[in-house]
């Protein structure tokens, strides 16, 4: 079954980014690795889930990743719209990360409204490409396709429709194949053997 | 207080300290020792979760890794109980423990759901497997399956088949069971160069080479055998 | 008995379908009728076979038809019972080890026993985890998340101290953006209310 957006957010939480701590703290020995030591005013790299946890308590400010900026995203949007293929995203979890950061601390992102809109435009462009690609895939009757640079959240959004249609098509074709084999005089055993891939 | 906590951590040798820890298996079985840092163990569990979530069928269990991590969590909870309430680390440690416990619980729940859904099919697989071949389930999961089926069948007999005509009282679970749909389509990410044979629905076969780093949409059946080894990951 | 073979048994399934995932009252009468129909069909077949008219196409047709109806009834009855059991299994995960009274009213004694057995099987499994320290798999159903929430103050409260020692002035009609975990009590006591959240970035 497909992971839910909440589950994908959970995974996105592991992505690292920088924070500006407002506290001092010796090294933290976490299971996922050592963190710190932290000194107020000195930037530090932490997983997103920790950054948001600390930010919610006002213990730090989030330093936006380089790609979460108006300039970068404007360029990325250009690239995405111009290219027939999917461009490589700055992070596998770009959408979830943006969402999570905006939920907790939009004030830490310069030009927040603009950045939000740019992310949405990029997402919409990719989803539109994906829908077209899916229809072409089904039309051509392909049984596999390369989809480099698609992110997981995008796959999850399209998965229910896509995989269901493909399965149905596959079943139809299999039925035709069975009928052909039988009418060519094959026995049930032979048919089963041939189709047991 | 803080210094004391750090010392206890290294003393126990558990938790993400600077040096890697050794999670050796019991020497009663002459097996190779697996050396893995807690961080690596956690990464392994994340991958296991994702694969199990996406795979239509039940994958080989990662029970040792789970048990290892549960022990790490227990130790971590003992250690962090010594921190002061307003210590900033307390919240962070607690959240990490909550996250990992969620990951493990979810993983085991996904497996239980599959075990229940495909119970008769799994039982047949279990009964017919070679004693040398590993089971798809942990011993505890096997016990769960056995009791679950017993409960199901006794109910279906008492309420149903026992009241049916004499010659129709056999339960025939294979007619009721579902087996996982190996022909479902999935997204795949390739970590090691591999090559597989894909048949399209018209029966034509084609060899497909899967390059490391690429992603594909493909039916599960031709790639099923590549998942456990890690050459491909379901996405 | 109704006109078509297998109609009653099919009704059993349809009833469950209408209640999608919920447990309607057990249809004792309909089940009894479907089982009776099976008995009648079976006896009719036995009679025909014992009359031993070999190769007569009318008899063969009747035999096959009744046999098909018998199989269909069996299938439907077992599907009905099995589907109810699946709903009952889900109950354990959704409502815990104690069945809510209004659901229990719709269960047979045997189904209550099934639930108790499942409960025990699950408890044994969960207890064995973590080297028998146990792990309650019915908890932690959602990924842990740092939730922030926008609240509007409904009545003058004054200074409210947050976990980190800082405080915020909760004046009537003022709006604040705070961690959910620290507002829950205030929300419950109706001192503040949650402002509706905005749509997420990738929803239409």
Q: Which residue ranges of chain C lie beneath pLDDT 70?
A: 1-3, 52-55, 164-165, 197-204
**Structure tokens of A189?**
């055993």
Model pLDDT, residue B29: 42
In the structure encoding, which two tokens stand for residue B38, read together? 């807690």
Among all residues of chain B, which has the CA nearest to that of C115?
B151
- CA separation for the pair C97, B56 (Å, rounded): 29
> Can you tell me the distance from the alpha carbon of A97 to that of B123, in angstroms, rounded to the nearest whole number?
42
Q: Do B119 and B147 touch, CB atoms closer than 8 A?
A: no
| Cβ–Cβ contact C58 with A under 8 A | no
CB atoms A102 and C201 under 8 Å: yes
CA A55 to chain centre: 24
A101 part of contact set with chain C, CB < 8 Å:
no
Helix and strand element counts for chain B (H, E): 8, 7
DSSP conformational letter for B136:
S
What chain B holds in terms of domains, given with CATH numbers, is: 2-117 (1.20.58.1030), 181-235 (3.40.5.60)
User: Going from the N-terminus, what domains does chain C have, and what CATH number goes with each?
Assistant: 7-128 (1.20.58.1030), 148-198 (3.40.5.60)
- CB contact under 8 Å between A25 and B88, yes or no, is yes
State how far residue B89 is from chain C, nearest Cα, in angstroms: 13
Contact A149 B183 (CB under 8 A): no
- Does the pLDDT at position B199 exceed 80? no
Tens digits of residue pLDDT in B79-118 = 998 888 778 898 899 999 999 999 999 999 999 999 999 9
Greater confidence (B1 vs B94) lies with: B94
User: Residue B23 has what pLDDT?
Assistant: 41
Q: Which of C104, C82, C78 is nearest to C91 (CA)?
A: C104
Chains touching chain B through at least 3 C-beta pairs below 8 angstroms are A, C
pLDDT tens track for C131-156: 999 999 999 999 998 888 888 999 99
b/e for C63-91, b at 16 or more Cβ within 10 A? eeebeebbeebbbbbbbbbebbbebbbeb
Given CA atoms B32, C125, A4, C199 in this order, what sign does their dihedral have? Answer: negative
Among positive and negative, which fits the CA dihedral A111, A117, A120, A121? negative
Q: Which one, of B80, B39, B42, lies nearest residue B62 by Cα?
A: B42
Highest mean pLDDT out of A96-105, B33-42, B124-133, B214-223: A96-105
Tell whether omega for the bond before C70 is within 30 degrees of 0, i.e. cis: no
Q: Is B7 an interface residue toward A (CB < 8 Å)?
A: no
- Closest residue, chain A, to C179 (C-alpha): A56
Is B217 close to A59, i.e. CB distance below 8 A? no
Phi and psi angles of residue C12, each rounded to the nearest 5 degrees, phi first: -55, -50
Question: Angle CA(B55)–CA(B60)–CA(B63) in degrees, nearest 5?
Answer: 120
Measured distance CA(C153)–CA(C159) in Å, rounded: 12
What local confidence, expressed as pLDDT, does residue A151 receive? 92
Taking CA–CA distances from C147, the nearest residue in chain A reads A104
Distances (CA, A) of C48 to A124, C1, C61, C191: 69, 21, 11, 79
C145 vs C125: CA distance, rounded Å: 28
| Nearest Cα to Cα of residue B89 among B75, B99, B76 | B76
Evaluate whether B120 touches B60 at the Cβ level (below 8 Å). Answer: no
* Of C129, C136, C144, Cβ closest to residue B98: C144
Q: Which of A14, A52, A57, A116 to mutate to test the interface with C (most CBs of C within 10 A)?
A: A57
- B42 touching chain A per CB within 8 A: yes
Report the alpha-carbon distance of residue A108 to residue B173 in Å, rounded.
59
Could you tell me which chains touch chain A, where touching means 3 or more CB pairs under 8 A? B, C
Contact C131 B71 (CB under 8 A): yes
How many other CB atoms are there within 10 angstroms of residue B110's CB atom?
18
Which CATH entry fits the domain spanning A5-196: 1.20.58.1020, 3.40.630.30, 3.40.50.10490, 1.10.490.10? Answer: 1.20.58.1020
- Nearest CA distance, A116 vs chain C (angstrom): 7
Contacts of A121 in chain C (CB under 8 A): none
Measuring CA to CA, how many Å separate A111 from each of A71, B43, B66, B148, C132? 10, 35, 44, 57, 53
Nearest to A144 among B6, B198, B203 (CB): B198
**Residues B22/B35, Cβ–Cβ less than 8 Å:** yes
β-strand partners of B188: B216, B234
For C86, phi and psi rounded to 5 degrees?
Answer: -65, -40
Preceding omega of A37 cis (within 30 degrees of 0): yes
Residue A189's pLDDT is 75
Q: Which residue of C has its CA nearest to B65?
A: C130
ipTM: 0.82
A29 inside 8 A of chain B by CB: yes
Residues of B in contact with C81 (CB under 8 A): 155-156, 159-160
């Amino acid at each position: 079954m497909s992971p839910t957006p909440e589950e994908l957010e959970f995974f996105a939480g592991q992505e690292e980014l920088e924070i500006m701590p407002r506290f001092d703290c010796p090294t933290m020995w976490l299971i996922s690795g050592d963190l710190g030591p932290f000194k107020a005013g000195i930037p530090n790299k932490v997983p997103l889930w920790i950054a948001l946890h600390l930010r919610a308590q006002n213990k730090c400010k989030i330093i936006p990743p380089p790609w979460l900026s108006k300039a970068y995203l404007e360029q990325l949007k250009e690239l995405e719209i111009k290219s027939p293929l999917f461009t490589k995203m700055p992070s596998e979890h770009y959408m979830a990360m943006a969402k999570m950061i905006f939920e907790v601390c939009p004030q830490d992102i310069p030009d927040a409204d603009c950045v939000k809109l740019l992310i949405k435009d990029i997402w919409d462009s990719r989803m539109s490409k994906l829908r077209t690609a899916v229809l072409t895939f089904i039309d051509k009757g392909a049984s596999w396709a390369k989809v480099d640079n698609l992110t997981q959240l995008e796959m999850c959004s399209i998965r229910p429709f896509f995989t269901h249609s493909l399965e149905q098509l596959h079943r139809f074709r299999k039925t035709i194949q069975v009928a052909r084999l039988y009418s060519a005089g094959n026995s049930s055993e032979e048919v089963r053997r041939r189709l047991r891939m | 207080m803080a210094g004391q906590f750090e010392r206890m951590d290294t003393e126990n040798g558990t938790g993400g300290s600077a040096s890697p820890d050794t999670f050796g298996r019991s020497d009663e079985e002459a097996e190779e020792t697996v050396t893995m840092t807690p961080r690596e163990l956690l990464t392994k569990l994340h991958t296991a979760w994702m694969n199990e979530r996406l795979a239509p069928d039940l994958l080989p269990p990662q029970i040792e890794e789970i048990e290892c991590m549960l022990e790490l969590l227990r130790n971590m909870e003992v250690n962090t109980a010594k921190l002061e309430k307003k210590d900033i680390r307390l919240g962070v440690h607690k959240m990490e423990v909550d996250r990992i416990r969620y990951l493990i619980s979810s993983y085991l729940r996904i497996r239980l759901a599959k075990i229940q859904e495909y119970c008769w099919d799994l039982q047949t697989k279990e009964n017919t497997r070679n004693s040398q071949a590993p089971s798809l389930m942990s011993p505890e999961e096997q016990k769960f399956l056995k009791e679950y089926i017993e409960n199901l069948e006794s109910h279906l007999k008492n309420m149903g088949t026992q009241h049916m005509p004499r010659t129709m009282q056999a339960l025939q679970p294979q007619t009721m069971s579902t087996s996982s749909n190996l022909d479902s389509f999935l997204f795949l990410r390739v970590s090691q160069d591999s090559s597989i044979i894909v048949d399209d629905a018209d029966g034509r076969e084609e060899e497909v080479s899967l390059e490391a780093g690429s992603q594909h949409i493909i039916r599960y059946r031709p790639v099923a055998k590549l998942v456990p080894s890690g050459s491909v990951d379901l996405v | 008995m109704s006109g078509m073979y297998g109609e009653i048994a099919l009704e059993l399934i349809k009833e469950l379908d209408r209640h999608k995932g919920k447990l309607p009252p057990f249809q004792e009468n309909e089940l009894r009728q479907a089982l009776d129909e099976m008995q009648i069909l079976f006896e009719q077949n036995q009679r025909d076979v014992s009359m031993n008219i070999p190769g007569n196409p009318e008899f063969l047709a009747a035999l096959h038809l009744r046999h098909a109806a018998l199989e269909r009834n069996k299938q439907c009855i077992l599907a009905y019972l099995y589907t109810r059991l699946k709903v009952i299994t889900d109950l354990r995960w959704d409502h815990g080890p104690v069945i809510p009274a209004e659901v229990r009213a719709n269960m047979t004694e045997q189904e209550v026993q099934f639930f108790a057995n499942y409960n025990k099987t699950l408890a044994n499994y969960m207890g064995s985890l973590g080297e028998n320290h146990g792990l309650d798999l019915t908890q932690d159903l959602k990924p842990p998340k740092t939730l922030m929430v926008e609240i509007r103050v409904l009545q003058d409260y004054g200074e409210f101290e947050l976990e980190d020692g800082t405080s915020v002035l909760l004046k009537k009609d003022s709006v604040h953006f705070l961690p959910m975990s620290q507002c829950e009590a205030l929300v419950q006591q109706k001192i503040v209310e949650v402002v509706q959240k905005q749509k997420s970035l990738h929803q239409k």
